């Protein structure tokens, strides 16, 4: 199996496990009729999105071409900036492993609330 396929399957497995854990915990909150659990999930989703947006400096891809940076910067400043932005982008991507399953759990809850109850 190619290396890229292994990486994709590993990422999907992590997302699936996170989804199962978050969904199970959410259902436990509902079963115990603990209303704070629902709000906790909404606040966590909002906080993770804000953290992702802040760390990633928006929703775009990081600048990786030194030609796109100001000409006044030295080569060292450009390479340091690119290294910092790339590292921040990688950290932000790790937040998505929790944020995306959390959003999926909340979407399922909203869909079941409006269409199946």
pLDDT at 66: 82
Instruction: Look up residue 4 and give its two tokens.
Output: 């890229």
**Secondary structure string (H, E, C) spanning 53-77:** HHHHCCCCCCCCCHHHCCCCCCHHH
Confidence at residue 107, expressed as pLDDT on a 0 to 100 scale: 95
Q: Could you state, in order of their start, the residue ranges of all structural domains in the chain?
A: 3-115
State pLDDT tens for residues 64-81. Answer: 788 888 888 888 988 898
Both tokens assigned to 18: 């996170």
Residue pair 49/92 in contact by the 8 Å Cβ criterion: no
Mean predicted confidence (pLDDT) in 5-9:
94
pTM of the predicted protein model: 0.82
Write the pLDDT tens digit of every residue in 17-46.
999 999 999 999 999 988 898 899 999 999
């Amino acid at each position: 199996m190619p290396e890229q396929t292994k990486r994709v399957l590993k990422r999907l497995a992590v997302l699936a496990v996170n989804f199962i854990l978050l969904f199970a915990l959410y259902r436990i909150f509902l079963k115990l009729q603990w209303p704070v659990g629902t709000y906790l999930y909404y606040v966590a989703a909002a906080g993770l999105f804000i953290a992702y947006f802040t760390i990633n400096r928006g929703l775009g891809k990081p600048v990786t071409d030194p030609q796109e940076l100001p000409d006044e910067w030295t080569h060292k400043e450009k390479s340091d900036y690119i290294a910092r932005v790339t590292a921040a982008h990688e950290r932000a991507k790790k937040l998505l492993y929790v944020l995306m399953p959390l959003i999926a759990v909340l979407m399922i809850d909203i869909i079941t609330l409006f269409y199946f109850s």
